[in-house]
């Protein structure tokens, strides 16, 4: 059975920009896996960091359960996701266990450093998955399953320098949007935090706005998620595009 692994920085990031596609792969018979690298411990103005981490851990587990994905525990804290040897080795172990044909992760340019470093960790950990002499933490057997890494759209659909981003392809997530929204609602602690810290009056409406805007870009779907493939070297064949192969008419190519 093929497998997909979503790798994101914080609890709720997968639900914002990846979960609709993950649900479609689940519906196509794939195994799905879910890891947010950070505990999310800074995501509150009213709870202590340890309590915030505990609350967000349970919210993420509930969301992963709603998505039907296997949940893996985080191993960093907020603003402490760094591109280090230890973090690469820890994430590589998860990649080797999941044996994904598809990795979904953040874009390499996004509004927040945690997102960008998480994407770099995802790329390197996936690259290292098949190197027998590379020791993951804990050690897991190397795996050479061909894998395509897809980068999601940045928040605001532009780079940190406000340059608009056009994805390589759009995935029609209209069918899965209600479940995606319900999974995001599992992260209830984030309503207060995002309201106060980022001026997002309703994080559910912000997510709706992201997917509706992408749907309008293609003039074909109501809700969509945008994806761009990472260069294939070290991952698979040049033309590998399992999302397009598996999801068929639900995919619209905008470029490439």
Q: What is the CATH number of the domain that holds 148?
A: 3.40.50.10320
Per-10-residue mean pLDDT of the chain, 256 residues long, equals 98 97 98 98 92 97 98 98 98 98 98 98 98 98 97 96 97 98 92 62 86 96 98 97 98 92
- How many domains does the chain fold into? 1
For residue 57, give every residue at least 6 positions away whose Cβ sits within 8 Å of its Cβ, in sequence order, or none.
11, 39, 40, 73, 74
Cβ–Cβ < 8 Å for 20, 180:
yes
pTM: 0.96
Q: What is the pLDDT of residue 237?
A: 97
Query: Coil, strand or helix: which one is 223?
Result: coil
Q: What is the pLDDT of residue 163?
A: 97
What is the Cα Rg of the chain in Å? 17
**95 vs 128: CA distance, rounded Å:** 9
Q: How many residues does the chain have?
A: 256
**255 vs 5: CA distance, rounded Å:** 24
Q: What is the pLDDT of residue 195?
A: 63
Cβ–Cβ < 8 Å for 118, 81:
yes
CA atoms within 13 A on the CB side of 141: 4
> In which element (H, E) is residue 6 found?
strand 3-8
Six-digit token string for 228: 């761009």
Could you tell me the residue range of the domain that residue 150 belongs to? 3-253
**38 vs 91: CA distance, rounded Å:** 12
């Amino acid at each position: 059975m093929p497998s997909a692994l979503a790798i994101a920085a914080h609890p709720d990031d997968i639900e914002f920009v990846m979960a609709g596609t993950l649900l479609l792969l689940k519906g196509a018979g794939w195994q799905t896996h879910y890891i947010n690298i950070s505990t999310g411990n800074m995501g509150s103005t009213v709870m202590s960091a340890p309590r915030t981490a505990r609350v967000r851990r349970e919210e993420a587990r509930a969301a992963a359960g709603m998505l039907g994905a296997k949940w893996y525990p985080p191993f960093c804290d907020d603003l402490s996701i760094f591109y280090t040897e230890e973090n690469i080795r820890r994430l590589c172990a998860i990649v080797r266990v999941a044996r994904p044909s598809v990795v979904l992760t953040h874009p390499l340019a996004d509004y927040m450093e945690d997102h960008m470093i998480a994407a770099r960790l995802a790329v390197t950990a996936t690259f290292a998955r098949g190197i027998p002499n590379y020791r993951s933490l804990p050690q897991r057997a190397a795996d050479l399953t061909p894998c395509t890494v897809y980068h999601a759209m940045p928040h605001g659909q532009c780079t940190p320098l406000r340059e608009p981003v056009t994805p390589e392809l759009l995935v029609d997530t209209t069918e899965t949007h209600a479940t995606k929204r319900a999974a995001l609602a599992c992260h209830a602690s984030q309503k207060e935090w995002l309201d106060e810290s980022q001026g997002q009056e309703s994080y559910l409406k912000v997510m709706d706005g992201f997917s509706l805007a992408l749907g309008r870009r293609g003039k074909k779907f109501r809700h969509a998620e945008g994806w761009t493939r990472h260069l294939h070297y070290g991952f698979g064949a040049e033309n590998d595009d399992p999302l397009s192969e598996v999801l068929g008419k639900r995919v619209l190519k905008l470029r490439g």
